[in-house]
Structure 1
Amino acid sequence: MTSFEAGKTYKTRSICDSNCWFSITVASRTAKTIKTEKGKTLRIGSYDGAEFVKPMGSYSMAPIIRAA
């Protein structure tokens, strides 16, 4: 399984605008959560052999950042 690592930056494109990028930098992590450098705590999920987080919440067009 691909996991988030502290100190690394992960990013994804917006589903609506390919010029818009969402990114997070992992400051620390536990088994079930990560904390970003901005102090936000995000719950980790897993799908298809990789961990993921939803930094903007959960809604129909929400960005999903995978640890790939």
Structure 2
Amino acid sequence: MKKFEIGKTYFCRSICDHECIFEMKVISRTAKTITAEHNVGGRQIQRFKIQDRFNEGIEHVDCGRYSMHPIFSAEHVR
């Protein structure tokens, strides 16, 4: 399983604008959550629940609760 690692920066692209790239840096983690600094809606530090959304062995986190929110994947690392 690909997992989020402390200190690494992950990215995803906006659904609406392919040129818009969101970044998230993992500050700490537990088995079920990560704390990360991200630039979605301005710089902020937030805790996220880790999910295996698509049963493909890759951790994901949802960065929002709306229809086109960014979804960060552990396989998209900078």
TM-score (normalised: structure 1): 0.90
Amino-acid identity (%): 51
Q: Which residue of 1 aligns with 2:58?
A: 50
Q: Which blocks of at least 5 consecutive residues in structure 1 are unaligned?
A: none
Root-mean-square deviation over aligned CA pairs:
1.1
Alignment of 1:7-46 (within 5 A): 7-37=7-37, 38-46=44-52
- Residues of 2 paired with 1:14 and 1:32: CA distance? 25
1:40 is paired with a residue of what secondary structure?
strand
1:50 is paired with a residue of what secondary structure?
coil
Q: CA deviation at 1:25?
A: 0.1
Consecutive aligned runs of 4 or more in structure 1 exceeding 3 Å deviation: none
Q: Which residue of 1 aligns with 2:40?
A: none
TM-score (normalised: structure 2): 0.79
- Residues of 2 paired with 1:52 and 1:39: CA distance? 17
